[in-house]
Chain A
């Protein structure tokens, strides 16, 4: 079975450019999460969706970041304009929620997108 799919795997761009990261969750999963990982801050939750609806975006660092989930099988994370401090590995994860029991459901991570902003 295919796991969470992310593209691109690597992205190198220049400061000020728009960056779009893509994610396809595991089929049937109704929760989707975007994380960012850096050496300094570790793994941080940016935003998560339930049934394509954004539930908590309090982790999104600033207005330059936006995320969408137009359907159950696709999500994007966009950075516009990008800055060098956005350089990080961005992970997408999905899980199958069971309402109050979501807390016990494993999150499956994609391979990540390694973003470098010059």
Chain B
């Protein structure tokens, strides 16, 4: 079983749509969780941390379910500029494990 699993997509959505990505992880002792964004041929950049209580940053909402070892990211009112690959990231004692990413394509 892979440590961090994501649907690779691509998810094709029109501008203004709401889209959700999911991720599962295998290490129940994982300590912290993140979503990174990676544009084509660029480096990954932190999008947001993920907390059990759920957290929101503008149009982005992240949620963690430790019992199910499941992480989600919701993007509302999609913009063309949201087109990218979204990487689910799990931390265990300073070692980050990345999912392979979910590609999002937002069209006009």
Q: Which residues of A contact B (CB under 8 A)?
A: 31, 33, 42-45, 48, 55-56, 91, 97, 102-104, 106-107, 109-112
Contacts and interface: CB of A to CB of B under 8 A. Distances in A.
B57 interface: no
A27 B37 CA distance: 23
B94 A102 contact: yes
A97 B95 CA distance: 12
Contacts of A106: 46
Interface of B: 31-32, 42-46, 49, 87, 91-101
B43 A109 contact: yes
Contact of B96 (A107, A110, A111, A112): A107
Contact of B87 (A31, A43, A45, A112): A43
A34 B74 CA distance: 30
Nearest to B95: A45
A97 B100 contact: no
